[in-house]
Amino acid sequence: MLTTEVKPKPKKRSLVFSFIKFCFFMFLMLTVIVAGAVIGVVKTFSDQLPEVGYHTYKPKLNTKVYDSNNAQIAEFHEVENRTEKVKMTEISLKLQQAFLAIEDSRFYEHYGIDFVRIIGAAVSNWRSGGIRQGASTITQQLARNAFLTQEQTFARKIKEILLAFKIEQKFSKQEIFELYLNEIYFGHGAWGVASASEIYFGKKPADLSLAEAAILAGLPKNPSRNDPFINPKKAKERQVLVLNKMAEHGFITKEQASAAKDMPLHLKTTKKEITRAPYFVEYVRTELINKFGPKKVYTSGLKVYTTIDLDIQKAAEEAFLNAKIYKDNPLDTHPTLQGALISLDPQSGYIKAMVGGRSYEQSEFNRATQAKRQPGSTFKPFIYTAAIQMGMSANSVMTDEPIEKVNPYTGKVWRPANYESRYFGDVTLKTALEKSLNSIAVKLLEKVGIQRVIDITHKMGIKSHLGNNLSLALGACDVTPLEMASSYGVIANGGIRVPPTAIIKVVDNEGNVIYDPGYRGEKVLEPETAFVMTEMMRGVIEQGTGTSAKIGRPAAGKTGTTNNYIDAWFVGFTPNLVSAIYVGNDDRKPLGSGKSGGRTVGPVWREFMLAAVKDKPVVDFKEPANITKKQICRETGLIACETCTNKTLQSFKRGLEPESMCSHGAPDEGIDDYFVNQDGEKIIIDYTESEEGEVSEAGDEITVETEDAGAFDPNAVAAASPAEKKQVASVKVGGKPAPSSEESDDEEITADGEEE
């Protein structure tokens, strides 16, 4: 017998034992609670489940789409042969197997829910640290598509599971599969395999080839993303996946799979309904389907009020197709030479015009919203915005000179050169932006901090990934034209970001407003930052690389040309309209030497904007309260002296205007006005009015500080050191006051015919 008082061991054992007992008890309790909850949930939701049966169809109502002036631009309706049901025997075995392989390989083994797959998916999601894999069975998808709404709620998910069990009880597997194949959505208003076979291939489902069957089976998961008309590449990837799965499950051999992969696809060339603003209409259709599900969009008679302005749209299409580069390279001989134009109202975010390519009939791929291209120098304003936002000013001086950067990880040397390797010595930020100087963009990005620039760029509306790398200074990232227009819109709109909007409201068949995004503006920049940036970007059009875009009213913008002339951009704005245009080959072949943003796209932007604002009053950018204006010497960035010959009126955030004054334009008089002290600093004798309006005594000494070369001090007065002064002088001695923009753009040459 164990004597408990002597040995501690048994006590320990009993402790362990009670712990096990406790755990077992807790487990029992939990089981009871969970079971109770499950029963309760099942009970509650069972009562709400719809009747399962071969349901009858209600009359279908078309959805109508209107422009901003309430003119109808499109009508959405389902494909006509929707009610033509096909029997299982009329559906080729290959098509059935394609669906089983990609959607539900254990369909004939489970009872509506595939627990094996749910656990598998859970494990793989846990491993990949996110929800990547779903585990909806064919029965669940049928439940969702035929009987439930598309909303993504927990309640709907539970109903879907319960309904799946109910369907499995009521129908045989063959019946379920047949219902599913007749019910599932394939895009373009096509439900069921019969409609889909007709729409995509002009065939009956019995006549589809293996390659075609794999395309169709790849669609229901995401009909718009995998749309073979719009995204042939994605559709192909999905087809290959389906074929691989079919081989994996032994439905076909590997040889059959690879033969099908190599088979060229012949999509049905339909006479598509020519709608006005076709790219925009498709954009709206996708947005509606994502919001409401295809059934509601195609059959419930919605009225959709959109932002597009058909007059501006017409101007956009005309100007875009009129581009010289397109005239010189007709579409039938140069089908990959494409581009996009997108125009928004920066104050409301309303999309006013959208051109996604040269011809919707030829290619439905919407380059305005889907093409990811390098923005080149049109990225630079984000860097300058970050610099202005943190306290630099348009006249802060930096030295334009050859630079090289060593990648600390790879040891590779990078030499981002200016256009034709021309350098200008000391320049103000405004001049650097106007001339699109690459070396300054890189130095500024480094000075401001890459992460800070990335953050501000995202805030302004670039959603695409931005690499933490100095090459970002030259626009080494991939963005859509819509992102560019929308984020420049923040500058146009005084620092307030309004997300791009296509749909103003949606009204249902009974007149209820079922969607209205309302105003969603958000302040992301100081209004003074936006104003200073606007002024700098006006300079780009007035005397920089973008003179081909002059429209004779206040406008600001930026040119962009990527390496080897692959993409040419112009993005710019008036106070009421911001427009981004790019031209480039779909296969990223170079456009050809000299095909720069300023030369190729600037004139297109100009023609479009002139037409778009033709009947609108001339509006200037609104000046915020804390702005001071000063006459500034272009070469030194200082207050212009009385005799300075190269000056400009410039805006500053109050308190950041320079205090000292330049001293050139009158060398004979100015000769005694400065001296160099023992520290090598230039001391200027100031004899002008001080800010308070008092005339300073002659002899007042003002130290011209050298520009801080190391740590950034936003309050430092931008000025030039004596050494830098010499460089300026040497540039000036060259003759012309400032080298003209034609020769000086970074990688750009502006139009030879700079008429204005």
Look at residues 487, 499, 491, 484 and name the one whose alpha carbon lies nearest to residue 567: 484
Contacting range for Zn ion; rule: CB under 5 A; set: 326-334, 559-567, 652-660, 663-671:
663-671
Q: Which is nearer to Zn ion, 348 or 393 (CB)?
A: 393
- Among the options 68, 78, 92, 103, which is catalytic? 103
60 Cβ contact partners less than 8 Å away, ≥ 6 residues apart: 77, 78, 82, 298, 299
Q: Of 208 and 633, which CB lies nearer to Zn ion in the complex structure?
A: 633
Residue count at the site for Zn ion (CB under 5 A)? Answer: 4
CA-nearest of 499, 529, 521, 485 to 383 is 529
Tell me which of 482, 662, 702, 717 binds Zn ion, using CB under 5 A.
662
CA angle 390, 393, 397 (to 5 degrees): 115
Query: What is the x/- site pattern for Zn ion, positions 79-118, by CB under 5 A?
Result: ----------------------------------------
- Closest chain position to Zn ion (CB): 633
Paired residues of 701 in beta bridges: 685
Residues 6+ apart with CB under 8 A from 699: 685
Q: Quote the crossing angle between the two packed helices 481-492 and 527-543, to the nearest 10°.
A: 110
Smallest separation (angstroms) from Zn ion to the CB of 645: 7
Nearer to Zn ion, 161 or 644 (CB): 644
Does 644 engage in binding with Zn ion (CB under 5 A)? Answer: yes
The answer to whether residues 161 and 140 touch, using CB atoms and an 8 Å cutoff, is: yes
Shortest Cβ 665–Zn ion spacing (Å): 6
Least Å distance, CB 653 to Zn ion, is: 22
CB of 715 within 8 A of CB of 567? no
How do strand 627-633 and strand 647-653 relate by DSSP bridges?
Answer: antiparallel
- Alpha-carbon separation of residue 664 from 395, 427, 644, 672 (angstroms): 17, 16, 6, 12
Task: Give min distance, CB of 732 to Zn ion, in A.
Answer: 10
Is residue 377 among the annotated active site residues?
yes
- Nearer to Zn ion by C-beta: 653 or 664? 664
Only one of the segments 78-86, 193-201, 659-667, 696-704 lies at the binding site for Zn ion (rule: CB under 5 A); that segment is: 659-667
Smallest gap, in angstroms, from Cβ of residue 632 to Zn ion? 9
Beta bridge partners of 689: 695
The answer to whether the CB of 573 falls within 8 A of the CB of 519 is no
Instruction: Considering the complex, state which of residue 497 and residue 664 has its C-beta at the smaller distance from Zn ion.
Output: 664
Helix (H, G, I), strand (E, B) or coil at 674: strand
The DSSP call for residue 110 is: S
Stretch that binds Zn ion, among 152-160, 584-592, 641-649, 731-739 (CB under 5 A): 641-649
The vertex-603 CA angle with 602 and 609, nearest 5°, equals 90
**Contacting Zn ion within 13-42 (CB under 5 A):** none
- Distance (Å, rounded) from C-alpha 436 to C-alpha 748? 8
CB atoms within 10 A of CB 610: 15
At closest approach, how far in Å is the CB of 440 from Zn ion?
20
Nearest-approach distance from CB 636 to Zn ion, in angstroms:
6
475 versus 637: smaller Cβ distance to Zn ion? 637
- 642 part of the active site: no
Q: Tokens 């309302």 appear where?
A: 518
The answer to whether residue 371 forms part of the interface with Zn ion (CB under 5 A) is no
Could you give the string, one character per residue 611-640, with x where binding to Zn ion holds by CB under 5 A and - elsewhere? ----------------------x-------
Answer yes or no whether residue 427 interacts with Zn ion by CB under 5 A.
no
Q: Which residues, in sequence order, are bridge partners of residue 612?
A: none
Taking CB under 5 A as the binding criterion, the range among 159-167, 363-371, 416-424, 662-670 that sits at the site for Zn ion is 662-670
Residue range at the interface with Zn ion (CB under 5 A); choices 526-534, 621-629, 660-668, 734-742: 660-668
Residue with smaller CB distance to Zn ion, 285 or 725? 725
565 vs 488: CA distance, rounded Å = 23
If the CB atoms of residues 83 and 631 are measured against Zn ion, the closer one turns out to be 631
Q: Could you tell me the two tokens for 498?
A: 């309004």
Minimum Å gap between C-beta 638 and Zn ion is 7
Distance CA 550, CA 541 (A): 6
Which CB atom, from 501 or from 660, has the smaller least distance to Zn ion?
A: 660
* Single-letter amino acid code for the residue at 549: A
Determine which helix (DSSP H) or strand (DSSP E) holds 20, and give its type and residue range: helix 8-48
Catalytic residue among 68, 377, 396, 663: 377
> DSSP for 328-366?
HS-TTT-TTEEEEEEEE-TTT-BEEEEE-SS-TTT----
* Smallest gap from residue 633 Cβ to Zn ion (A): 3
Residues tagged active-site: 103, 377
Which residues sit at the interface with Zn ion, rule CB under 5 A? Answer: 633, 644, 662, 664
